[in-house]
Chain A
Amino acid sequence: QVTLRESGPALVKPTQTLTLTCTFSGFSLSSSGMCVSWIRQPPGKALEWLARIDWDDDKYYSTSLKTRLTISKDTSKNQVVLTMTNMDPVDTATYYCARILLVGAHLGAFDYWGQGSLVTVSS
């Protein structure tokens, strides 16, 4: 059974760095073909893809946010970590991690999602 769970602070101040952890079970990020992504959703708004990390440590980032994002993994702990620097109130959102379903060599979809972690940016 695949599960993912996000953890991190519920409140951060402007200019601070956000660190979110995705702890998962039911698969291993050391297995070929396994990948995890982060997605966020501001209140009442659409989904926004943020970053992806693969079993071989390949990484991909949102174009508009790549200077602020870092994704990393700890396969021994079954965790993926996302850091976002210089937080701003517009970054207030629910942050999700999700497992990637590959179709051949392409991203197929996000087939399992965590419950999400609401992060509010406010002084």
Chain B
Amino acid sequence: DIQMTQSPSSLSASVGDRVTITCRASQGISNYLAWYQQKPGKVPKLLIYAASTLQSGVPSRFSGSGSGTDFTLTISSLQPEDVANYYCQNCNSAPYTFGQGTKLEIK
């Protein structure tokens, strides 16, 4: 199985900061990677697929990049409503493993 490792596990940043979360796959997955946001007590929401394609309706401050084994999710200007857990997911082949999550808080 492909292992997905996110870093950091938790992150505290100020409103307006640029925030970057990284995700590393244990083997190459081309650009078949998705990012999800899960706010406390809520259902996961798709942010980005195919590593860099923004899902419809997602604010443009979110962006994704990477290919192969290393990927990043960037929030260009952190907003209070971005407090959430963020997960990456291997979409290259089954089993479609998720990362362990990154908890993002406001400082």
Is the beta-carbon distance between A101 and B49 smaller than 8 angstroms?
yes
Is the beta-carbon distance between B92 and A106 smaller than 8 angstroms?
yes
- Which residues of chain B are near A49, meaning CB under 8 Å? 89, 95-98
Dominant secondary structure of chain B at its interface with chain A:
loop
Question: Is B15 interfacial (CB 8 A cutoff)?
Answer: no
A55: min CB distance to chain B, Å: 16
A113 to B87 Cα, complex, angstroms:
15
A114 to B45 Cα, complex, angstroms:
11
Dominant secondary structure of chain A at its interface with chain B:
strand
In B42-93, the 8 Å CB interface with A consists of 43-46, 49-50, 55, 87, 89, 91-92
Question: Is A52 interfacial (CB 8 A cutoff)?
Answer: yes
Q: A47-B87, A63-B1 are in contact. Are A108 and B49 (CB under 8 A)?
A: yes
Question: Is A37 interfacial (CB 8 A cutoff)?
Answer: yes
Partner of B50, one of A60, A103, A115: A103
- Which residues of chain A are near B101, meaning CB under 8 Å? 46-47
Task: Write the B16-56 contact mask toward A (1 if CB under 8 angstroms, else 0).
Answer: 00000000000000001010101000011110011000010
A12 to B1 Cα, complex, angstroms:
29
Chain A interface residue number, banded: 20 to 34
Question: Is B7 interfacial (CB 8 A cutoff)?
Answer: no
- Which residues of chain B are near A60, meaning CB under 8 Å? 94-95
- Which residues of chain A are near B94, meaning CB under 8 Å? 52, 60-61, 107
Is the beta-carbon distance between B96 and A113 smaller than 8 angstroms?
no
Q: What are 11 A-B interface contacts by the 8 Å CB criterion?
A: A46-B98, A49-B96, A52-B94, A63-B1, A103-B49, A106-B91, A106-B92, A108-B32, A109-B34, A111-B55, A114-B43
B-to-A contact residues, CB < 8 Å: 1, 32, 34, 36, 38, 43-46, 49-50, 55, 87, 89, 91-92, 94-101
The 3 closest A-B pairs by CB, nearest first: A109-B34, A109-B49, A60-B94
